[in-house]
Structure 1
């Protein structure tokens, strides 16, 4: 019997796959647990429509991520900080601070997307990766400057 899997079933099929399984396995295990349904013409048409809708959504997200990457890479973010007597920062520049500075400039990035390995503790120029989508990562240039040199 041909069935369309509605969920992943280890060793048998993944969600959205159409496979042949034995009649007993389908009737006694898959159908009662709502793990699959018979592969009728209407179900297959609906599955194709859902896959197309999903592909369009992914393409839209990818396009948006590429636009945001272009915006981030054309920007140099200047972050004014207070320095101690040794030339080190009072505190540190964290991914949360970077996200807030970006939000002020109209670019919405969550702090978890900013791949800052360690907080920045010294003034200077840095390049910080920002993961926008699956394989799309922008490189954001940041200048940490002493307070008074402006944003």
Structure 2
């Protein structure tokens, strides 16, 4: 009996695969636990349409991320912070502040977890920060920290 797996089934296959299984296994286990459905012609064509749609969405997402990465690569942002008498910042600059500055100054929405800095910035100066995207894309930008 051919079935379409609706989720990963250990020892059988991964979600979205069409597998040949015994009738008893399909009826008594896979169908009862909603882990699979019968691989009818309509279900198979729906699966293929879903896969094509997902591939198109992933392509569009990749293009969007490539554009964002190219806009960010080599860009400069400025962050103004209060400093003490020794020239150190009162509050360190973390990935959240950098993501907010990118959003305000470059109009690009970046999640803080995408911003990669080795440690929080605690002094005035120029720093190079890496922004990581899905699909292995990266961009480096310059962050200028100046006194407010």
Q: Normalising to structure 1: TM-score of the pair?
A: 0.90
**Number of aligned residue pairs:** 147
In 1, Cα distance between the equivalents of 2:31 and 2:82? Answer: 65
> Deviations along 1:34-60, whole A, 9 cap, x unmatched?
111111111111111000000001111
Deviating more after overlay: 21-30 vs 97-106: 97-106
What residue in structure 1 maps to residue 8 of structure 2? 8
In 2, Cα distance between the equivalents of 1:45 and 1:74? Answer: 46
RMSD over equivalenced CA pairs, Å: 1.4
In 2, Cα distance between the equivalents of 1:10 and 1:141? Answer: 47
What residue in structure 2 maps to residue 93 of structure 1? 93
Give, in angstroms, the shift of residue 129 of structure 1: 1.4
Structure 2 unaligned regions, length at least 5:
none
Structure 1 unaligned regions, length at least 5:
none
Deviating more after overlay: 17-26 vs 101-110: 101-110
> Deviations along 1:47-102, whole A, 9 cap, x unmatched?
11000000001111111111111111141112122222222112111112112211
In 2, Cα distance between the equivalents of 1:89 and 1:34? Answer: 56
What residue in structure 2 maps to residue 33 of structure 1? 33
Q: Greater share of strand residues, 1 or 2?
A: 2
